[in-house]
Structure 1
Amino acid sequence: MTVIDVILAPGNGSFFYDDQAAIRAGVASDGFRYVGTAVTPGFTTIRMPSRSLSIGLVLSDGTIVWGDMMSVQYSGAGSRDPLFHTERIEALTRSVVVPRLLSVDVSNFLETCSHVLAYHSGSRLPLSVEYGVSQALLRAAAHVARTTLAEVICSEFFLPLPTKRVPLYAQSGDAREINVDKMILKSVDVLPHGLINSRDKFGPSGEKFRQFVKWVAKRTTEIGEPGYHPTLHFDVYGWIGLEFGMDAGKITDFICSVADDVPDYRLHIESPADFGSTDAQLDEYVKIVNLLDARGSNARIVVDEQCNTLDDIRLFAEAKAAHIVQIKMPDVGSVADTVWGVLACKEHGVGAYVGGSCSETDLSARVSAHVAVATQADMILAKPGMGVDEGISIVGNEQNRLLAVLAHRRSQTQNSL
């Protein structure tokens, strides 16, 4: 089976691209807009609609399989790729990627990725291109094999076929209280993210954040189903370090105080500080992990910023520089690299969180469900968007359909024996 033509279609992501540096500096908001001047290169305003570019591979039997290119909400921050521009990405795709795709045999996912996503002029292709093209190639390989995407991953990475679901993690956006209620009523496994991305939300000495954490725990017992006991996961966008100083001991002290506020819950703190580079992040996060472990805290730290590519993920996993690594799929690039990232975390006893961004699309979110289930990651983000319901439906339903298909095939095999 080969590619005989390629179709490109511009589209929209499911949220917005935000200038993290400008927001962190304390700009005011006006309704859904931020007021002020953009700081991060590529941004013309602080908040911009997220865009995507779909790539369709026309196969030799007439089937068309798709993948979506886009970048994450906070593009250009934390050593990430710059802001996604549809016209620039389309031009590069047509000039570099399309010629590599034409006539390529799509039956072997890893081999095809290696060929199509090879370096250009001594550099990697934009990670958004790797992400979208690899989605399409994975779908092409599944079409050839007449299997699910997860089965292709299991076959090519020599993994056993999965039988268990992966815990689902939902993110609230700024509509924190209403969306927390939605998550609890739907018994989400991990919640609520919280979007603690400004000093106003974090509060002096973190008091506003601590109040929110306690409220989430209290609300869970008030309206949750009997026996419902989720993991509490909060993304603080580096504000612990910004508020208390970039000192591992002070950061750990605050995290422990938050954990003491909710002693009956497993607590995840994502991005407690951003130390400005991958090397510095690695060194300081090792200290925080060791201090938390030595104190027997129920808190776990999750790394996001400064840990983007597969090489970064391997460094953090080997050094145990986090309890959990977010494998942020558009930042990692090729879907194959996300698989390798999960496997690296498992090899070194570190939690693997198959993440991504609210700015993604339904198509990329469904691919992530297959990756997470095939690799049996520790948790997966309900994406895209910030509405909660949509992400839970898209990722959760895709996971459930996949597991139902695999269970059906196992029963058919047993009945034929």
Structure 2
Amino acid sequence: MVDHNQNNLLTLKLLELIKKTGYPIVQHNGQRRTGPPPDWTGPPPQKGCEVFIGKLPRDIFEDELFNLFSTVGKIYEMRLMMDFSGSNRGYAFVTYAMRDQAAAAVKQLNGYEIKPQRYIGVVKSVDNSRLFIGKIPKNKTKEDLLEELSKYVKDIVNVIMYRHSFDRNLNRGFAFVEFKSHKAAALARRELVPGCTKLWDQEISVDWAEPEPEIDDEKMKKHIRKKEYAKHVDYSPNVESGIGSANHGDSPCVSPFDVKLTYGLCAPPNAYSPVPVEPFMWPPTKLESICKRYMWAPPVYKYQKCLDHTTGLELWMCSVELPQVGPPLLRVPRPLGPLFSRTSRSLEQAHVEAANIALDFLNVLKLDFIQPPSQPVPPVYAQIPYGIDYSQMFPPMQPLLPLNIQSVWPTF
């Protein structure tokens, strides 16, 4: 709770910040915005420039946060979440002008001791602008959904709809709708509340879609500098020479995935091995490959961490669920799971074990129809030689005995 004197002192500090930086400060809908800068021209920063700040003490405000986070890069906007008592709600958002500045803020300020024994958390903000729309009539197309949604919401950028795996003229009953910004998606989600809005006189379900994974620019540059694709790989004598240019010469083509499985990200020149040394992540990769092959929904993993009171070690459990499992064109897909792994020492080990259990279930249920190539079978009968008189090998048949058959049968 902020008293009257502290409120006056905070007001003076905010006015001093406005005078020093020229950034406007406006409070609206439970959040106080600082920015954008007065000299900013052009569109707002691109997606990926925002960071989330958590674990904030309740008596920390813009005058301290702005000075701290401006040491990393140019701030475009800061949003501090406020409650009715005048204190902050423990978290804020900072938008930088460049993506590399946001990455530097996460690297430098995550775990920063902002007050004695008070450490803040700084991570990349999930700027999600995609909604999941469920319970859609399966005879509707992408254009039909876009036209119907445009009656209620705006700023729609794209509609992603997948066809049914059995009948290509139908959809799968759900779609993803991409909006111009996170704010536009949030307003659309508020407008399309289940029970208030119907599409084609039918109830729908609306929720946030899982955000797209982002690739760290610094890691990508590092991998490109290392040239992760293997070169000058020696296939002999482990592998037979194949047909085609890929197996000809001193520098055949090798997938970087195979190299990473065997040696990690930094692969030596002779990186090829027919049997990888550590095929640790093969079960999850194989399970995902099977789901893609039969056009099933991807597996859903959930993790749980627990503490062993006897040893004090952190243990992990993983559950996997396959939302759609079924032989193509034979049965309607049904969910499989959740299937739970045993407690493991690491998250990766639990992840792999859960995928292995799912593969065993698919094998028992005989749902993976792709069999390994059959081996050549030798002929059952030996080859018949030529130039032999077979009449001498087999004795002639005995003549048949003559039989007298009555042509007229007696009548009774």
TM exceeds 0.5? no
Question: Where on the TM-score scale, by shorter chain, does this alignment land: which range?
Answer: under 0.3
Structure number with greater CO (CA < 8 Å, separation at least 6) is 1
TM-score normalized with structure 1 length: 0.20
Judging by fraction of residues, say which structure has more strand: 2
Judging by fraction of residues, say which structure has more helix: 1
TM-score normalized with structure 2 length: 0.20
Larger Rg: 2
